[in-house]
Amino acid sequence: MSQLRKFVIPELVFGDGAVHVLGRYANNFGSEKVLIVTDAGLIATPWVDKAVDLLREEGIASVVFSDVSPNPRDFQVHAGAEMYHKAGCDIIIAVGGGSAMDCAKGIGILATNEGGISSFQGVDNVKVPCPPLICIPTTAGTSADVSQFAIISDSAEQVKMAIISKTMVPDVALIDPRLTMTMDPALTAHTGIDALVHAVEAYVSTGNSALTDVHALKAIELILKYLPKVVKEPDSYAWREKVMFASLHAGLAFSNASLGAVHAMAHSLGGTLDLAHGECNALLLEHVVAYNYSYAVERYERIGKIVEIGLGMQEVSGVEAICQGFRRFREHMGVKGGLGQRGVSSENIPVLAEKAMSDPCLVTNPHFPNQRELEEIYEKAL
């Protein structure tokens, strides 16, 4: 360990029933009125009502903001902040996947800071701490509940803004794997592969450290082992818990080591074409590994060993075998074909690459690519 590294995580409660301590935590913050941030799809699940009931039992009132889309937009953050102020809220609780949690983080920024949400993009640009934020994830993969990241789409520029700041780490994460049991198989696979990519990118990141490595390697091992089981048996709590635990490890790793080209390029696809984040990551991973391999050979070889054991493959060594391992895994999880089948065409590529070039995640990629190189990666992933 030769360099100083900072490691930030929220207070967290993990396990079956973790959500039940919500009222107590809200009370500890002295809250009288909560803004619950969620999305329309989750209103149909029992989880939002459950949160409202748990708060009511503690005598705490709440209002629900559910106008949050996948790839949450700047105007949704602004609308949520308006509701927060108008209703006189004092804390924020996010119930949902990455979209709801990222939107909640954005609302938190505007609750205490002046200006539009776009003025906070980049690293360490949030000056005033946000109101208390409790995150209750309902997917296993994004890890926004433990991370320093908030990703919001700029609707005018059609670009995803990455807001990276210690102030974005939630105060409390209540990680209850039972809440992920309502995910459909495709979302389970996409979010699970997102977690895998978090772990891989954190491990090869130029911001890696001995502390983030431990979490990244454990996450890769667990996801390769348990994601196929949960996709096959989605009603098994035991598998759901394993994948949630893996996602937590991946989140602790990437929040502190940052990410790389897969995320920079996936953010560009999400901002420009509104494509699903986890699916983009799944389709880009093997092509980014092919580009990155020679810049981090030892680290990719270590990952190759885990892929070899996890997938029961023979001798996963060298760039081709490692890429093939990842391809095999995502296809086995149901992510087949390429970006071309998701509406991406070669005409989109220059703009996609240009936007990815300015994404903060690219900074910690093992090697900083030029725009032409990113265009080539997109072409291969079509």
Contacts of 290 (CB under 8 A, 6+ apart): 319, 323, 380
* Site size toward Fe ion, by CB under 5 A: 1
Q: Which is nearer to Fe ion, 194 or 241 (CB)?
A: 194
Binding mask 152-191 toward Fe ion (x if CB under 5 A, else -) reads ----------------------------------------
CB of 218 to Fe ion, least distance (A): 18
Q: Which is nearer to Fe ion, 194 or 359 (CB)?
A: 194
Q: Is 30 left (phi over 0), alpha (psi -120 to 50) or beta?
A: left
Q: Which is nearer to Fe ion, 145 or 194 (CB)?
A: 194
Q: Which is nearer to Fe ion, 122 or 129 (CB)?
A: 122
Instruction: Give dist(CA 288, CA 107) in Å, integer.
Output: 33
Reduced 3-state DSSP string for 129-157: CCCCEEEEECCCCCCCCCCCEEEEEECCC
Please identify the residue of the shown chain whose CB is closest to the bound Fe ion: 194
Q: Which is nearer to Fe ion, 251 or 304 (CB)?
A: 251
Determine, following the binding rule CB under 5 A, whether residue 308 of this chain makes contact with Fe ion: no
CB of 52 to Fe ion, least distance (A): 29
Count CA atoms closer than 13 A to 367's CA, side-chain side: 15
CB of 281 to Fe ion, least distance (A): 6
Residues of span 184-213 touching Fe ion by CB under 5 A: 194
CB of 327 to Fe ion, least distance (A): 19
Instruction: Give dist(CA 246, CA 263) in Å, integer.
Output: 19
Q: Cβ(97)–Cβ(132) under 8 Å?
A: no
Q: Cβ(259)–Cβ(148) under 8 Å?
A: no
For residue 257, count other CB atoms closer than 10 A to its CB: 27
Binding mask 226-255 toward Fe ion (x if CB under 5 A, else -) reads ------------------------------
CB of 246 to Fe ion, least distance (A): 14
Q: Cβ(260)–Cβ(347) under 8 Å?
A: no
Contacts of 205 (CB under 8 A, 6+ apart): 212, 254, 257, 258, 259, 260, 364, 365, 366
Give the CA angle between residues 104, 227, 195 to the nearest 5°: 40
Task: Report the Cα 85 to chain-centroid distance in Å.
Answer: 27
Q: Which is nearer to Fe ion, 36 or 252 (CB)?
A: 252
CB of 151 to Fe ion, least distance (A): 8
Q: Which is nearer to Fe ion, 25 or 254 (CB)?
A: 254
Q: Which is nearer to Fe ion, 209 or 255 (CB)?
A: 255
CB of 147 to Fe ion, least distance (A): 9
* Both tokens assigned to 153: 């789409």
CB of 161 to Fe ion, least distance (A): 15
Q: Which residues bind Fe ion (CB under 5 A)?
A: 194
